[in-house]
Structure 1
């Protein structure tokens, strides 16, 4: 099984990826790992290198779950014909999820450091439908609509039945 999960920050991408990985044993990849320079704050990795890293990861694994808000990095997975899941629960749900987010040690040195950046994250999440570029709602919609492979748009956090359907169990 190959699954690419796309959506706004706080939409539930990581949670869904973790649930799918736990059920399938497939490795899960958070695209933040490939989008940013390791050990540096807010320094993007060269986009061509990031896309090459994603392509290498996809080719190295028979099954995988990849999640992120980076449209171009998700696009790099589509040659492998994953199920493309577009999470679009609405900005208010995304804001709630961001406020309740546990510490992400792969991104921040401490929970205090993560919390110090929360106001910026919330403002960024609120701008999803008006911002431009690959991280925008418009870009995510266009990527989803343009993909001719298997795909699902979810407007609510997935329940057990939705999870089973994604896995072909139902």
Structure 2
């Protein structure tokens, strides 16, 4: 089993991927951990370092759950997955999940530092359906629609198999 979970920030990617990893004994990779410089806020690692980290994870693990919002990484990883899951619960759900998110120590030094970034995160999340970048709904929709393997889209807690 190699499950790739993607969607907007706050859509439930980490929760679902961790649950799948625990239930099925899968290695888990949050793409945030390879995209951002450790110990720094919003400082992206060089593209070659990100690609090297992703390739290393894929070669080291036969069974995994990978999750993230990065369209270019989701697209690249989709060629290795056995199942693609697009979480698309809607904007209000994502915003609420971000407001109630527990501290993510792999991203922030403290809960206070995380909360200090909430306003910026919420503004970015709010633009998900309008933006045209690799981290937008439009990019995610193209990836999902073009994927020919086993896939599902989860809208407001439900799953729609395709």
Shorter-normalised TM range: over 0.9
Query: Does the CA contact (< 8 Å) of 1:55 and 1:77 recur in 2?
Result: no
What displacement does 1:146 show? 1.2
What displacement does 1:21 show? 1.0
Match of 1:17 in 2: 17
Query: Does the CA contact (< 8 Å) of 1:12 and 1:157 recur in 2?
Result: no
Match of 2:141 in 1: 141
What displacement does 1:144 show? 0.8
Query: Does the CA contact (< 8 Å) of 1:54 and 1:76 recur in 2?
Result: no
What displacement does 1:55 show? 2.2
What displacement does 1:13 show? 0.2
Q: State TM-score, norm by structure 1.
A: 0.89
Query: Does the CA contact (< 8 Å) of 1:94 and 1:125 recur in 2?
Result: yes
Specify the SS of the correspondent of 1:131: coil
Specify the SS of the correspondent of 1:58: helix
Runs of 4 or more consecutive aligned structure 1 residues displaced over 6 Å after TM superposition: none
Residues 47 and 82 of structure 1, relative CA distance in 2, 3 Å threshold: farther
Unmatched segments (≥5 aa) in structure 1: 166-170
What displacement does 1:43 show? 1.3
Query: How many corresponding residue pairs?
Result: 160
Q: Is 2:126 the counterpart of 1:111?
A: no
What displacement does 1:15 show? 0.4
Match of 1:157 in 2: 157
- How far, CA to CA, are the matches of 1:115 and 1:39 in structure 2? 16
Q: State TM-score, norm by structure 2.
A: 0.93
- How far, CA to CA, are the matches of 1:55 and 1:151 in structure 2? 22
Q: Is 2:37 the counterpart of 1:59?
A: no
